Amino acid sequence: MADKPIEGEKRVFMTGNEAVAWAALAADADIMYGYPITPQNEIMHYWTRLAPRYEKRFLQTEDEISAGFTTCGGVLSGKRAFTATAGPGNVLMQEAMSMAEMLRIPTVLVVQQRGGPSTATVIYSQQETTLTCFGGNGEGMRIVYSTSSHQDLFDYTIKAFNIAWKYRFPTFVLGDGYQAKMRESLYIYDPEGKGMAMEKTMPFLGQEGMPGVDREPAHLRNTYNTEEELYAVISKYVEEYNKLTPEVVEYQAEDTDDAEIILLAHGIVARAALAATRTLRSKGVKAGYFRPITLRPFPAEQLRQIARTAQKFVVAESAQGQLLKLVQEAIYGETVPLETYLKPGQGITGEELVDFIDSMINGKIKGKLNSKINGKGGF
Amino acid sequence: MTVVPNMPKAWRKESKPHKFCPGCGHGLVLKALGEAIDELGIQDRVVFGCDIGCSLLAWDFFNVDTVQTHHGRTTPVMTGVKRARPDRICIAYMGDGGGYAIGSQHLVNAASRNEKITVILVNNCNYAMTGGQMAPTTLPDMKTETTPYGRNVEETGYPTQGPEMVAAITGEDAYTARGTVANLRQLKNYLKKALQNQMEERGFSFVEALSGCPTNWSTNAKDTWKFLEEMMTRFFKVGEVKTPGKELGSEGKGIAREEAGKEPAKEQVEGIAREEKKGEE
Amino acid sequence: MDATVKIALAGEGGQGVQSVAGIMVEAANDGGREALYIPNFGVEQRGGVSVAFCQISDQKIGSPKFKKADLVIALSDRAVRRTRQYVDKDTLFIYDASLKGLENELPQDAKKILAIPALEIAKNELHPRVFNIIIMGAAIEATKIIGMEQAKKAVEKRLGYKFAQNPKLRELNFQALERGARLVKESLA
């Protein structure tokens, strides 16, 4: 048996795609199925170079439909199988992910969002938020981690395997083209060395013993004959999903206690939001920061608490209101006014968020301000 | 006195009588398959995948581990299982719509990659589960719900020649055949050879089974068999198309496989790949 | 916002701006600082203007791209036009002196604009292949994100395998670094 891919912990400087490949190795993933699409290609490139050294496998499929379904097959065989995609590939992969939801197949899918709709750009966006959370003809019973740094990509890719296998819901790591392609520092490590045990896997198909004699055969189906049969199955899933929600939800918050303006963002835009929050604080503006890490399930209760004390929410995202919908649903009934900073398919910097809030405070944005902040203008 | 029919050991008695329509050929194909599994002694190693369409009704047919997938997607699911667990015998079971239309890219590519799985495709000339629409295998001038005046070959082409297509894109290590429920002994023989090809880790194996659909054909028993045996066989030739190990000429082997075996070509191609990599720096 | 140094390097595909950006940020990272580098990338794999966005800081860096840079280096006409948007009153804007007729295209509000004859020096004094290393020398002199010794070490790390085959290349590259630094130093003096 080959040595462990990572001994202990070390600081590295690499792209996000490389970080994902290392994380999958560190998580002891067995096999990747994949199909080329920018900007996730290097996940495959690094995996195909590294995997054979650790007796791990790769299959390049004919399309993303196949990549999704072969991943389902790999997982059904009891292996930590994963795939990665983006944009139109994510669209195609939703078919398999909907089967994974129905059959409770713990797949892991890394999404590096690119511009949309259609082929759009190969660069960056946050426009696959709704698709990743709710793609498929179902209820979106899946777990979605939105990462905002290479450290996140590494940590949450490992975690995705564990959470998927623990709860048996398809699990997603939602990155983007910036995270895929940029280089920054992070620590990579052997999870065991940190006392993190990997969740055990088990075959759903192909167990030992003679079916019908030593054990019952596995008969997995996603088709039901009656409404009542289906309703019973889905109701059970909903109950289980609701039960896992408080155990799984994650978020990050800063300076929210006394904040009047809360900047809300996920993924890489959260970095801009956090930087802007700190700058605004240094200028005396009572700003706070909230970032959902899990988009499914959403940290709704936590956000609702903040909505009760804040005077304004500002939702910033590189999409035309996909995070916004999640926020609105989460705080439905609360009266905090919502302001938005939406740039579908384009990056958002901390500087522009500061400028935006500044002009908001100075009353340049009309009709939406209803309280006084920092003694300036009618907020 | 209840007569208990003679069932293959691999069949699951609790799910019988099965759910297919009276006179449907699926039960016969699955009988041949059950016997093949029994005779090869692989019941505890088989992973069975069934498609959408009537084939989905086989989801609890056998006492073998089974997954029912999406329309056309059984081939990739079984590919995924096989790649992760090469010790399993993976069978993808589907209809003509699943294999030749919505899942054709999977069939073509699994065959091209020489996946060590067995695909069994039931050809009954129509989409049966959805109510009898035209399939890639619908015969010329045959009436279906979407070709109410008969299949016009000028507009919709000719019936897909599946095993012949698979034979054309695979190498000498593949097995392809077309059997029929009208000759179960022969069909079982083909299925066994297909499974053996997988067990011996040779390559891809593919069996099409001609089958009847009295419900959608609106035929009685006599006409069903007449259509199956006289009409379908005019368009779909029953027999083995490719058997592994048989020495094939360049044409049958495929130019790519011929060329790959030649040493100088190999060296040159590797050299090009290395140069390309350098160029990226 | 903080003490983050922001650099945009832009040139034509093949001028090597991404390579030097990669070497610089890696050197900064090796020196224990936080660095972030993102190349612009699109469907055009080879053609078009190539921009490298680099940030170096003592703390974790925010968004990967930025509105305004501390240093912009543009190495072609198109690169000048493309990168004007990153310039404000705090930006040092450097372009290659061989670019002519750009009077109306140059940014109006830069802190300072420098034309350096990097291309000419590469061609006539050193070697066309070390053009981008001259640019790297200029960039580190202008920003002080890393010292000259660190820069040499980083170049050695990246190109050492080539230097092993031809030690003259090492000397040539180091000369290029120093020459680039001197160009900026003299211009700013």
Please name the member of A13, A149, A272 whose beta carbon is closest to the beta carbon of C29: A13
* CB pair distance less than 8 Å for A272 and C66: no
Q: Would you give per-residue pLDDT tens digits along chain A (379 residues)?
A: 458 999 999 999 999 999 999 999 999 999 999 999 999 999 999 999 999 999 999 999 999 999 999 999 999 999 999 999 999 999 999 999 999 999 999 999 999 999 999 999 999 999 999 999 999 999 999 999 999 999 999 999 999 999 999 999 999 999 999 999 999 999 999 999 999 999 999 999 999 999 999 999 999 999 999 999 999 999 999 999 999 999 999 999 999 999 999 999 999 999 999 999 999 999 999 999 999 999 999 999 999 999 999 999 999 999 999 999 999 999 999 999 999 999 999 999 999 999 999 999 987 554 444 444 443 333 3
Q: Give the distance from residue C86's alpha carbon to the nearest chain A alpha carbon, in angstroms.
A: 12
Please name the member of B43, B65, B73 whose beta carbon is closest to the beta carbon of A218: B65
One domain, residues B199 and B269: no
* CB pair distance less than 8 Å for A218 and B78: no
Name which of C33, C45, C63 to mutate to probe chain A: the one with the most chain A Cβ atoms within 10 A of its Cβ.
C63
Tokens of A268: 């890489």
| A-B Cβ pairs (cutoff 8 Å, strict) | 138
> Taking residues B197-220, what's their average pLDDT?
97
Q: How confident is the model at residue B245 (pLDDT cuts 50, 70, 90)?
A: confident
One domain, residues B260 and B188: no
C-chain residue closest to A278, CA distance? C1
Domains: count for chain C: 1
What is the pLDDT, as a whole number, of residue C1? 41
The answer to whether the beta carbons of residues A146 and A160 sit under 8 Å apart is: no
Q: Is residue A379 part of a domain?
A: no
What is the pLDDT, as a whole number, of residue B271? 62
Chains that contact C by 3+ CB pairs under 8 Å? Answer: A
What is the pLDDT, as a whole number, of residue C33? 95
Please provide the average confidence, as pLDDT, over all residues in chain B.
91
- Tallying the residues shown for chain C, one arrives at 189
What is the pLDDT, as a whole number, of residue B189? 98
Q: Spell out which residues of chain B touch residue A30, defining contact as CB-CB under 8 Å.
A: 84
Q: How confident is the model at residue C44 (pLDDT cuts 50, 70, 90)?
A: low
Question: Given the DSSP bridges, would you call strands C34-39 and C5-12 parallel, antiparallel or unpaired?
Answer: unpaired
Q: How confident is the model at residue B254 (pLDDT cuts 50, 70, 90)?
A: low
Question: How many helices and strands (H and E) does chain A possess?
Answer: 12, 15
Q: Spell out which residues of chain B touch residue A219, defining contact as CB-CB under 8 Å.
A: 59-60, 65-66
One domain, residues B94 and B199: yes
Q: Is residue A58 part of a domain?
A: yes
Q: Is A182 on the interface with C (CB under 8 A)?
A: yes
CATH code (residue C180): 3.40.920.10
The answer to whether the beta carbons of residues A354 and A280 sit under 8 Å apart is: yes
What is the pLDDT, as a whole number, of residue B270? 67
| Phi, psi of B140, deg, nearest 5 | -55, 135
Domains: count for chain A: 2
One domain, residues B50 and B168: yes
Q: Which residue has the tokens 């030593």?
A: A214
Mean pLDDT lowest for which of B237-246, B259-268, C43-52?
Answer: B259-268
One domain, residues B28 and B49: yes
One domain, residues B20 and B156: yes
What is the pLDDT, as a whole number, of residue C42? 74
Chains that contact A by 3+ CB pairs under 8 Å? Answer: B, C
Q: Is residue B62 part of a domain?
A: yes
* CB pair distance less than 8 Å for B59 and A211: no
What is the pLDDT, as a whole number, of residue C189? 80
- Its pTM stands at 0.93
Query: What domain range is A124 assigned to?
Result: 9-194
User: Residues 82-101, chain B: which have Cβ within 8 Å of A?
Assistant: 82-85, 88
What is the pLDDT, as a whole number, of residue A376? 37
CATH code (residue B186): 3.40.50.970
Q: Is A269 on the interface with C (CB under 8 A)?
A: yes
Q: Give the distance from residue B140's alpha carbon to the nearest chain A alpha carbon, in angstroms.
A: 31
H or E, element range at A97: helix A87-103
Q: Is B16 on the interface with A (CB under 8 A)?
A: no
> Whole-angstrom Cα distance, residue A64 to residue B148?
35
> Taking residues B201-229, what's their average pLDDT?
97
Q: Is the pLDDT of residue B86 over 60?
A: yes
Q: Is residue A231 part of a domain?
A: no
Q: Which residue has the tokens 């809300």?
A: A264
* CB pair distance less than 8 Å for A79 and B85: yes
Q: Is residue A219 part of a domain?
A: no
What is the pLDDT, as a whole number, of residue C188? 86
* CB pair distance less than 8 Å for C41 and A178: no
Higher pLDDT, B277 or B33: B33
Domains: count for chain B: 2
Q: Give the distance from residue C67's alpha carbon to the nearest chain A alpha carbon, in angstroms.
A: 7
Q: Is residue A217 part of a domain?
A: no
A-chain residue closest to B12, CA distance? A212
Q: Is residue A229 part of a domain?
A: no
Mean pLDDT lowest for which of A228-242, B207-221, B247-261?
Answer: B247-261
Name which of A76, A97, A137, A222 to mutate to probe chain B: the one with the most chain B Cβ atoms within 10 A of its Cβ.
A76
What is the pLDDT, as a whole number, of residue B280? 35
One domain, residues A168 and A258: no
The answer to whether the beta carbons of residues A82 and A55 sit under 8 Å apart is: no
Name which of B37, B43, B52, B73 to mutate to probe chain A: the one with the most chain A Cβ atoms within 10 A of its Cβ.
B73
> Whole-angstrom Cα distance, residue B115 to residue C121?
58
Q: Is residue A151 part of a domain?
A: yes
Please name the member of C36, C43, C67 whose beta carbon is closest to the beta carbon of A349: C67
One domain, residues B239 and B263: no
* CB pair distance less than 8 Å for B84 and A209: no
Name which of A14, A346, A349 to mutate to probe chain C: the one with the most chain C Cβ atoms within 10 A of its Cβ.
A349
* CB pair distance less than 8 Å for A65 and B65: no
Q: Is A268 on the interface with C (CB under 8 A)?
A: yes
Q: Is residue B3 part of a domain?
A: no
| Phi, psi of B42, deg, nearest 5 | -120, 15
> Taking residues B251-258, what's their average pLDDT?
63
One domain, residues A183 and A270: no
Q: Is residue A221 part of a domain?
A: no
Q: Is residue B6 part of a domain?
A: no
Q: Spell out which residues of chain C touch residue A183, defining contact as CB-CB under 8 Å.
A: 22, 25-26, 35-38
B187 torsion bin: left (phi>0), alpha (psi -120 to 50), beta (else): alpha
Query: What domain range is B166 assigned to?
Result: 13-248
> Whole-angstrom Cα distance, residue B43 to residue B36?
10
Q: How confident is the model at residue C100 (pLDDT cuts 50, 70, 90)?
A: very high
The answer to whether the beta carbons of residues A7 and A194 sit under 8 Å apart is: no
Q: Spell out which residues of chain A touch residue B83, defining contact as CB-CB under 8 Å.
A: 31, 33, 57, 59, 70, 73-74
B50 bridge partner residues: B68, B93
Q: Spell out which residues of chain A touch residue C52, defining contact as CB-CB under 8 Å.
A: none
B154 torsion bin: left (phi>0), alpha (psi -120 to 50), beta (else): alpha
Query: What domain range is C115 assigned to?
Result: 5-188
Q: What percent of chain C has pLDDT over 70?
A: 97
User: Residues 97-156, chain A: which have Cβ within 8 Å of C?
Assistant: 121-123, 149
Q: Spell out which residues of chain A touch residue B56, defining contact as CB-CB under 8 Å.
A: 221, 223
* CB pair distance less than 8 Å for B84 and A66: no
Q: Is the pLDDT of residue B256 over 80?
A: no
Q: Is B80 on the interface with A (CB under 8 A)?
A: yes
In the 8-state DSSP scheme, what is residue A217? P
Q: How confident is the model at residue B278 (pLDDT cuts 50, 70, 90)?
A: very low
Tokens of C162: 């080539």
What is the pLDDT, as a whole number, of residue A314? 98
One domain, residues B133 and B235: yes
User: Residues 99-138, chain A: which have Cβ within 8 Å of B?
Assistant: 99, 103
Q: Is residue B22 part of a domain?
A: yes
One domain, residues A36 and A180: yes
One domain, residues A183 and A287: no
Mean pLDDT lowest for which of A68-72, B247-251, C53-57?
Answer: B247-251
What is the pLDDT, as a whole number, of residue B246? 65
The answer to whether the beta carbons of residues C110 and C91 sit under 8 Å apart is: yes
Alpha carbon B183 to its chain's center: 17
